[in-house]
Amino acid sequence: MKNYIIIPTLEPDQEFDKRVEKLRKKIPAQIVVVDDGSGTDYREIFDRVGETGGCTVLHHGANLGKGRALKTGFAYVRHCIEAEMEAAGGISETRKPVAVILCLDSDGQHSAENGSTVLERARCCPGTLILGGRNFSESGVPWKSRLGNRVSSAVFQLISGRYLSDTQTGLRAFDDSLLDLMLEIPGERFEYEINVLLTCVSRGIPVRVEKIDTVYIDKNEGTHFHPVRDSAAVLGALFREPLRFGLSSLLCALLDLFLFWLIEKTTGVTGQQERFWHIAAATAGARILSASVNFTLNRYWVFGRGKGWISIRRYLILCIGITAASAVSVSAVSALFRADPTAAKIFCDTVLFIVSWRLQRSRVFPGQRKAGGRHGG
C-alpha cells in the first residue's frame, strides 16, 4: 500500500522544512503539507518544502482551522487515489484499501520514528484508527497539558464508554477505507479531532493506541490552540450528545409528568394494593405518548443512527423495563417515606434517566460500522 503523510500547519518555524526532509528520508511516502492561511511572510518556508521531492503544498487563503486543513489534505489524497485507480482500469465498489494515511503535527513534537511506528501499525490493522499515545506521567510535561489530557480522557470515557489514554494526539494513521468517513465528520478546528474519536467509537470502528515518545518543545508555547474558543468547541463536541439527550428527555419528562399528574389526580383509590395499580396505570398511560416522541427525537436528533425495527423493538423493551422500574420505585418511595407520588417520581426517574441514556447509546441506537463509503472497509 502507498503511504501518504498529511501535515496541517500554521505559521511554521524556520526548521519546518528540515523536519519534513527528515520525515521524507525516514518514511517513503507522498507528503501533503497544508498551509492553513499562514500568509506571505511564510511563503519562503513553504517554497522550500515544495522543492523537496515527493512533497505537495496546498494553501488556504485564510486560517480555516486544523480540522478544515486535515480535510483539505484528505480530499487531495482521495483525488490522487481515484486518479491512480482510474488509470489502472477503474474503481471497484468492493476494492481493498490501497493506501495508508498518516497525520502529524508540524511543531516537531512528532518524530519521524514515531510516525513510522504508527504508520506501520495502521498497515497491519485494516479499517482501524491508530493513535500515537503519549505518556503524560513523564517529567517535563507541562502541567496544563497533563491536567487537560486527563480531564479529556475521563470525560471521553464517561460519554463514550471507551477509555483512551490520549484523546488530544494529532499523530494518527488509518487506511483509505476510512477516508470518506473522515471527510464527513463535522468540525473545522480542534474539535474535529475529538469528533473523529467519538464517531469511530460510536460506529464500532476499532481505535488502538500505539505508545510514542512524549515531546514538548518550549513547554508547548508554539501551539495555536486558543484557550477559550477552542476549549469551548472541544467541550461542545464532547457534550453535544448528552446535552441533546438531556433536552430530549427533559421535554418528554415534562410531558410524561403532566400526564401522570393528570391521571393520578383525576382518579381516586382507597387501599394500598389499589394504589399500586393506580400508580402503575398512570405511569403506563403517560409513558405511551412521551415515549413515542422521545424515540423520534433520540433516533434522528440525539444519536443520529438506529437499526429500524430492531431499534424500535429494543426501545419498547427498554421502555417497558424503565416503566416497570419507575412504577415499582415510585410506589416504594412514596410508601416508605410517605411522599407525594409526583415528588417521588421526580427522584426515581432522575436515577433511571442515567440508566436509560447508557442503555440507549449502547444497545438501542448502537453505532453501525461505516468504513469509508464505497470502499466498504
- Mean pLDDT split into 10-residue runs, the chain, 377 residues: 94 90 92 95 93 90 94 96 84 78 89 92 95 78 70 83 87 95 90 91 91 67 55 71 85 86 71 69 80 87 82 90 90 88 87 85 72 39
Q: Report pLDDT for 70.
A: 97
Interhelix angle for 112-124 vs 16-26, to 10°?
40
Maximum C-alpha span of the chain:
89
The tens digit of pLDDT for each residue in 318-345 reads 988 988 998 899 999 888 988 888 888 8
φ/ψ of 175, rounded to 5, equals: -90, 170
Record the pTM.
0.74
Q: Report pLDDT for 202.
A: 84
Burial degree of 198 (CB within 10 A; 0-12, 13-18, 19+) = buried
Q: Report pLDDT for 377.
A: 35
8-state DSSP, 168: S
Secondary structure element (H or E) that encloses residue 146, with its range: helix 143-160
φ/ψ of 137, rounded to 5, equals: -85, -10
Three-state DSSP state, 173: strand
70 and 35 Cβ atoms separated by less than 8 Å = no
Residues 13, 8: Cα–Cα separation, whole Å: 13
Residues 331, 344: Cα–Cα separation, whole Å: 8
Q: Report pLDDT for 288.
A: 82
Q: Report pLDDT for 233.
A: 65
Q: Is the dihedral of CA 113, 115, 118, 123 positive or negative?
A: negative
Q: In terms of DSSP bridges, do strands 30-36 and 55-60 run parallel, antiparallel, or are they unpaired?
A: parallel
Alpha-carbon dihedral angle through residues 190, 193, 197, 199, given to the nearest 10 degrees:
90
223 and 144 Cβ atoms separated by less than 8 Å = no
Integer angstrom CA distances of residue 346 from 256, 260, 291, 330, 339: 11, 11, 17, 9, 11
Specify the amino acid at residue 205.
I
Residues 136, 152: Cα–Cα separation, whole Å: 13
Q: Report pLDDT for 62.
A: 95
Residues 351, 336: Cα–Cα separation, whole Å: 18
Position of cell 470502499? 375
Q: How many CB atoms lie within 10 A of CB 116?
A: 17
Q: Report pLDDT for 122.
A: 95
Residues 351, 329: Cα–Cα separation, whole Å: 10
* 38 beta partners: none
Q: Report pLDDT for 376.
A: 36
348 and 260 Cβ atoms separated by less than 8 Å = no
Alpha-carbon dihedral angle through residues 352, 358, 363, 369, given to the nearest 10 degrees:
160
Was domain 2-225 assigned CATH 3.90.550.10? yes
188 and 36 Cβ atoms separated by less than 8 Å = no
Burial degree of 101 (CB within 10 A; 0-12, 13-18, 19+) = buried
155 and 168 Cβ atoms separated by less than 8 Å = no
Give residue limits of the domains in the chain.
2-225, 241-364
Q: Report pLDDT for 273.
A: 59
Q: Report pLDDT for 270.
A: 53
Secondary structure element (H or E) that encloses residue 321, with its range: helix 309-336
